[in-house]
Amino acid sequence: MTDTPSSIVVIGSANIDFTVKVERLPQVGETVSGGDFRLSFGGKGANQALAALRAGAPVAMIAKLGRDPNGELLYRHLTTAGLSPEGLLRDDEVPSGVALIMVDAHGRNLIAVAPGSNRRLMVADVQALGAGVFERQAGAPHRPRLLLTQLEIPLDTVAYGLQRACDAGLMTILNPAPGRDLPEGFLALPEIITPNETEASLLTGITVTDLETAQRAGERLIAMGSQTVIITLGEQGCLLARRGEVRHFPGFRVTAIDSTAAGDAFNGVLAASLLEGLPLEHAIVRATAAGALCVTKRGAQESLPTRQELDAFLASVG
C-alpha cells in the first residue's frame, strides 16, 4: 500500500492587481505619466499557492473572496489554475481585495493594497473547514504536511493556523509580509520566517542595506525567538540564519523587468522543495532561482515559473 502524497496548505490573501508601468516612481505629491495598464491576479497567498503548484506540489488554499465582479474573476481564475474551490470562501458584505501597483523601468515597484474580504478571513472560517485542513483524513487524496502563510489576513487567523499546524506536526513557513509589528512570542510560532530587507528592518529595528546588516538582523530575529530565518535580499540573493549558523546564498544574474512577485515565487518554491524532502540549503537555491526567473517577466502570477522552466534555468547556470 503506497503512502498518501503530501500537500501544502496556504492560508492567505487573493487580490486583483491594477498595474501601471512608469518610467520612474513618483515622489510624494507628484503625478507621473504612465505607460501600459494591466489587470491581473495577485495577493501574496494566491501568488505563493500558485508558485508552489507550478513547481509541482499539491496545494490547498484557504482564502476569502467577495461576491463582487472581482471576486468572480478571482474564483474562476484560481479554480481553473488547479486550486480546489472548497477553501475559497465567499463574503457577501465586502468586496474582494485589490492592489494598486506601479513598476518603473528598472523593475522596482510601489504597492498599496485595499484588503477587502481578505480582512474577513477569520479563525472560525478555518475551523469550519474541519480537521482535514491540518490532519490526514481517510480517503483524502493528499495529507497536509506543510503550512505557508503571510500577513495580508487577520493576525489571529495566522496565529491559529501556525499553532494548529504545529500541533498536527506540519512544517510551517511564515512570510511576514507586508511588514508590521508582531506580538511578543509570535516569531516563535513558525519553523521558518522569510522576511525581505524591509520586513527584517521593521521587525528588528536594524536597517538592512547589505550582507553585514542582514546578518545582524538575522541574529536579532533568532534572539527574538525565531528558529530559522531566511532574509531575501533581491539581486544579492538571501541570507540564512539559524542558531550558531549564518550563510549567504548569492543571487542569479538576470535582467529585471518586474519584481512584483519575486518574493512570492521564492516562498512558493521554497515550500514545494521542502515538501519534496530536499535539504533546506537545496530548497533555498531553487527558491532563489525562482525569484530570479520571476523578475524577468511582467506581472505577478503570469511571471511565476513552471517546474520545467526552473529546472532548465538551474541546468543552464550549472
The catalytic site residues sit at 264
Strand, helix or coil at 304?
Answer: coil
Q: How far apart are the two ends of the chain, measured CA to CA in Å?
A: 38
Output the nine-digit C-alpha cell for 262. 519575486
Q: Which of 41, 258, 282 is nearest to 49 (CA)?
A: 41
Output the nine-digit C-alpha cell for 250. 548569492
Cβ atoms of residues 270 and 147 within 8 Å: no
Strand, helix or coil at 63?
Answer: strand
Query: Residue 279: which H helix or E strand, with range?
Result: none
CA dist., res. 294 & res. 301, Å (int): 9
CA dist., res. 177 & res. 196, Å (int): 8
